[in-house]
């Protein structure tokens, strides 16, 4: 049977259909993730996260390509997000180590203050603007994908990102 049949069944909550797709694609997707993350454990976690999200969001996901393409792109994006967060985490750890040698640690405090202000500002945004911004900037989703997930137009996504950036610029005006 074709993948679109299984996905329709998954949308209805059919666990056997989900297990079928999981079994069918799991190994290949782990290999795909390995090209990016170079760790079997991390690659397996990424693929499991992608399948978990597929199950959790099954009713609102719209797939315009093949299941294989959809899953491959999701694994690639999740792998790239992992790498990005790994780099950021390492930079933060290096900053902390550098600041430990600086008794004042002022650079670290400034960084934490800035992060805190950004988070507070994002949390005060209107819900749709906040959701669009997080999907765009933190989850690295494309505007078209965000529009499909939220059931809004691409133009609305563009406008929401623009509004979020204006709000952030205003809130961080004294930092820039």
Query: Across the 176 residues of the chain, what is the mean pLDDT of every consecutive 10-residue run?
Result: 86 92 94 89 93 92 89 92 74 58 51 76 91 84 90 94 90 74
How far is the CA of 16 from the CAs of 11, 24, 49, in angstroms? 12, 12, 18
How many whole angstroms separate alpha carbon 46 and alpha carbon 61?
18
CATH of 1-101, one of 3.10.180.10, 2.40.50.180, 3.40.50.300, 1.10.1740.10: 1.10.1740.10
CATH architecture assignment, domain 104-176: Orthogonal Bundle (1.10)
The overall pTM is greater than 0.75: no
Confidence at residue 3, expressed as pLDDT on a 0 to 100 scale: 85
Residues of the chain within CATH 1.10.10.10 domain(s) are 104-176
Confidence at residue 46, expressed as pLDDT on a 0 to 100 scale: 93
Residues of the chain within CATH 1.10.1740.10 domain(s) are 1-101
Confidence at residue 81, expressed as pLDDT on a 0 to 100 scale: 85
How far is the CA of 111 from the CAs of 74, 78, 114, 130, in angstroms? 31, 26, 5, 22
């Amino acid at each position: 049977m074709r993948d679109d049949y299984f996905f329709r069944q998954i949308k209805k909550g059919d666990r056997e259909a989900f297990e079928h797709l999981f079994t069918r694609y799991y190994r290949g997707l782990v290999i795909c993730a390995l090209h990016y993350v170079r760790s079997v454990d991390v690659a397996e976690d990424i693929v499991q996260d992608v399948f978990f999200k597929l199950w959790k969001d099954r009713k609102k996901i719209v797939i315009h390509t093949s299941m294989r393409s959809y899953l491959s792109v999701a694994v690639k994006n999740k792998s790239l997000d992992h790498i990005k967060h790994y780099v950021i985490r390492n930079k933060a750890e290096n900053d902390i180590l550098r600041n430990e040698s600086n008794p004042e640690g002022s650079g670290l405090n400034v960084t934490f203050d800035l992060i805190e202000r950004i988070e507070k500002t994002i949390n005060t945004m209107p819900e749709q603007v906040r959701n669009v911004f997080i999907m765009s900037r933190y989850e690295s989703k494309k505007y078209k994908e965000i529009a499909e997930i939220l059931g809004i137009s691409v133009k609305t996504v563009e406008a929401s990102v623009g509004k979020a950036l204006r709000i952030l610029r205003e809130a961080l005006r004294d930092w820039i």
